[in-house]
Amino acid sequence: QVQLVQSGAEVKKSGASVKVSCKASGYGFNGYYMHWVRQAPGQGLEWMGRINCNSGGTNYAQKFQGRFTLTRDTSIDTAYMELSRLTSDDTAVYYCARDHPSSVATFDSWGQGTLVSVSS
């Protein structure tokens, strides 16, 4: 079965960067986009961007342009997100989510989430 396993919780200082991994299994990693969605404490869901796990091509939400980078390593079926110049507003749970095979930008499988806490 499809499984996405994310790296553990992170605590960072303002101004630092964080890198979160998402290890995929149970399907052909190269054949899908991987998206990243975040959720601030008690808040709703916010789409951040996506990566084509085959070509490495990316699309980012304008809000995060310039400090958000998605990469992948096809040799180990793992996607990564890196967010730099962190502020307290970046405190959130970050999720990776796979594209549905029949519906673009429909998230049919999710990682368990990674809490990133940013303190000043």
Contact residues for another protein, defined by CB under 8 A = 35, 44-47, 59, 61-63, 95, 97, 100, 102-108, 110-113
Cα(66)–Cα(74) distance, integer angstroms: 24
Nearer to another protein, 36 or 80 (CB): 36
Nearer to another protein, 15 or 26 (CB): 26
Closest CB 114 distance from another protein, rounded Å: 11
Closest CB 5 distance from another protein, rounded Å: 12
Nearer to another protein, 80 or 95 (CB): 95
Please enumerate in sequence order all residues whose Cβ is within 8 A of that of 16, keeping only pairs 6 or more positions apart, or say none. 84, 86, 118
Closest CB 63 distance from another protein, rounded Å: 8
Closest CB 120 distance from another protein, rounded Å: 26
As beta bridge partners, residue 37 has 47, 95
- Give the start-end residues of each E strand in the chain: 3-6, 10-13, 18-25, 33-39, 45-52, 58-60, 68-73, 78-83, 92-100, 103-110, 114-119
